[in-house]
Amino acid sequence: MGQLSFAAKITHVPSMYLSELDGPHKGCRQAAIDGHHEISRRCRALGVDTIIVFDTHWLVNSGYHINNAKHFKGVYTSNELPHFIKNMPYEYDGNPELGEMIAQECVSHEVNARAHPDTTLALEYGTLVPMRYMNEDRHFKVISISAMCQVHDLGDSGRLGTALRSVIERDYEGNVAILASGSLSHRFAQNGVSEHYLHKVWSPMLEHMDREVVRMWEQGEWQEFIAMLPEYADKCHGEGFMHDTAMLLGALGWDDYRKKVEVITPYFGSSGTGQINAVFPV
């Protein structure tokens, strides 16, 4: 019998990588990087062997997809922000057996999912950025699940999370962490003024809504949050339409979840978007 040992909603802003480099922005995202280091420390203390990332940078237009290759290695440059992340090397090990188990369990829950073990699919930076700070020594195996879901229902994403936890606890022999990798509001700063928003949220309304959501999470107001999630995801430009968050909550019990979130990197603005590192107690 396996265990879901750790869960979190995390940032993956590319300025974290920029923060490492010499120049005017060196150190600008140290708090977010420190939050990833803390998540890694906690996962190691819990005996986690595999991290599953719900990646809001993996866009899909049909079904749910699981990148469960045996091994990942390459040099990554972001096609979205090539001036932020360029020539970033990576190498991690996968867990194809667990990925296949998850896909089969999703199908049994009437969620259309496919696992891809023999693939040239590369990892997206919603996975690569956190793994850079959490898994530099390849301590954890990595599975990435598509979470920029263009034509999907949030309820189906919740059922994917439910299926994932079910198969881990019933059939897997090991400890797993899940990470919802995406922002809160995700309205990027307008072209031409983006440099003025490196540490800001695009509008006061979006920041207010994000901070209210964080307050709800900290108070454990899950029934209220899930009721407003579709409208929040739409009107506040939730990254990946918040499918990563729906997957996370599905694994934790959906609106039966009662725990209070622990914020480890306080809410911050980045290029117009709202970001956080927050632990969701299992």
The rounded distance, in Å, linking the Cα atoms of 245 and 226 is 10
Confidence of residue 238 (pLDDT cuts 50, 70, 90): very high
Task: Say yes or no to pLDDT of 69 above 90.
Answer: yes
Phi-psi region of 220 (alpha: psi -120 to 50; beta: other; left: phi over 0): left
Domain 3-279: CATH superfamily, name plus number:
LigB-like (3.40.830.10)
What's the mean pLDDT in 72-90?
94
Q: CA 277, 27, 143, 89: dihedral to nearest 10 degrees? A: 170
Q: What values do phi and psi take at 138, rounded to 5?
A: 60, 35
What's the mean pLDDT in 106-114?
97
Bridging pattern class, strands 262-270 and 64-67 = unpaired
Task: Say yes or no to pLDDT of 162 above 90.
Answer: yes
Confidence of residue 178 (pLDDT cuts 50, 70, 90): very high
* pLDDT reported for residue 195: 86
The mean predicted confidence, pLDDT, of the chain is: 97
Nearest to 50 by CA among 122, 151, 144: 144
* pLDDT reported for residue 194: 87
- ∠ CA 4-10-13 to the nearest 5 degrees? 150
What's the mean pLDDT in 201-229?
98
pTM above 0.85, yes or no: yes
Phi-psi region of 240 (alpha: psi -120 to 50; beta: other; left: phi over 0): left
What's the mean pLDDT in 28-36?
97
What's the mean pLDDT in 26-48?
97
* pLDDT reported for residue 1: 85
What's the mean pLDDT in 182-190?
96
Tokens for 170, please give them: 């019933």
Least confidently predicted of 15-24, 141-150, 164-173: 15-24
